Amino acid sequence: MVISIVDNGGWPVQTKQRRISGAAAAAACGILALVTGCSSTPVTGKHDAKPTASRASDPVSPGPSPANLKPVQGQRLRHYLLTTNDLGPGYTQTVTPDDKKAADPHRYDDIGVSGCPALEELSKHSDEVQFATKTSAGFTFGADSTLGEELHSDTPSKLSAGLRRLVHAQTSCSTYTMTSGSTPVTVTVHKDAAPGPGPDAYAYTTTLNGPGRASVLKTAAVRHGNVLVMLVGAPALVDGHIEAAVAKLPAS
């Protein structure tokens, strides 16, 4: 995860830090991935309301019990992503973090975190929160507000346990320091009301304060059967579209 909200030529970091990567790096920023690094301008007031997305459905046939659902693969998983048609006027699709990482597999290597033991511990075991399949989409709204979506699929038990661990790590510290290279960013986190019923629905807001600029991001995550959806971006955009994102998930 690359921090893009600050650029002051690099400040020295006085605290000891642990380098993190992969899912741990993403969790440190408050999400599994972002559209344009950790940059988002808060949206105030109204924006064009989203159309209500109908739940995607698969052909009805006898299948495994919910507890034994297998991961959704490839293009079938992509079918459940939001599109600009779902979001409404004013949205433009962008290059996703997956595309950027494919071009530069080491783009998250310079991320560090200090002052949050749970995130530092997660960095040692990031392979334990990797899911079987993943796809993502990114959007901008207006001049510079972003909305990112990730879908992950695995068995329900693995998704549930991994999501709990990621959210616990991210929300266990109200304040910590993250760095990109040598530039320090103070991160503050607070939990929000869950975006839906059930034990695997979470939301929290992350504020990142760097030299000369602050940025506010909201994350909402919901597991439905063998698919996990996460939205992150400007709080108003996340709040406005999480229901539509969940509605597109396959019926379990």
Map out the domains of the chain with their CATH numbers. 18-42+69-247 (3.40.1000.70)
Alpha carbon separation from 149 to 60, 79, 141, 184, 247 (Å, rounded): 27, 13, 14, 26, 14
Predicted pLDDT of residue 91: 95
- Selected residue with higher pLDDT from 205 and 59: 205
With vertex at residue 234, the alpha carbon angle to CA 229 and CA 238, rounded to the nearest 5 degrees, is 35
- Selected residue with higher pLDDT from 143 and 223: 223
Grade residue 252 by pLDDT with cuts at 50, 70 and 90. low
Q: Tokens 């495994």 map to which residue?
A: 64
Predicted pLDDT of residue 106: 60
Q: What is the pTM of this model?
A: 0.76
- pLDDT tens-digit profile of 37-75? 443 334 433 454 444 454 444 433 334 456 678 899 989
The mean pLDDT value for 162-171 works out to 91
Which two tokens mark 79? 């079918």
- Selected residue with higher pLDDT from 171 and 110: 171
The mean pLDDT value for 99-116 works out to 64
Judged against a pLDDT cut of 80, whether residue 33 lies above it is answered with no
Angle, helices 117-124/156-171, rounded to nearest 10 degrees: 140
Mean pLDDT across the chain:
74
Q: Tokens 């075991």 map to which residue?
A: 125
Which two tokens mark 217? 């991001």
Looking from the CA of 161 toward its CB, the CA atoms found within 13 Å total 9
- pLDDT tens-digit profile of 73-105? 989 999 999 999 999 999 999 876 555 455 555
Per DSSP, the residues of 23-60 read: HHHHHHTTSS--SSTT--PPP-S--PPPPPPPPP-PPP
The mean pLDDT value for 199-228 works out to 91
- Selected residue with higher pLDDT from 172 and 55: 172
Do residues 146 and 34 touch, judged by C-beta distance below 8 A?
yes
Can you tell me whether residue 173 is helix, strand or coil?
Answer: coil
Do residues 210 and 37 touch, judged by C-beta distance below 8 A?
no
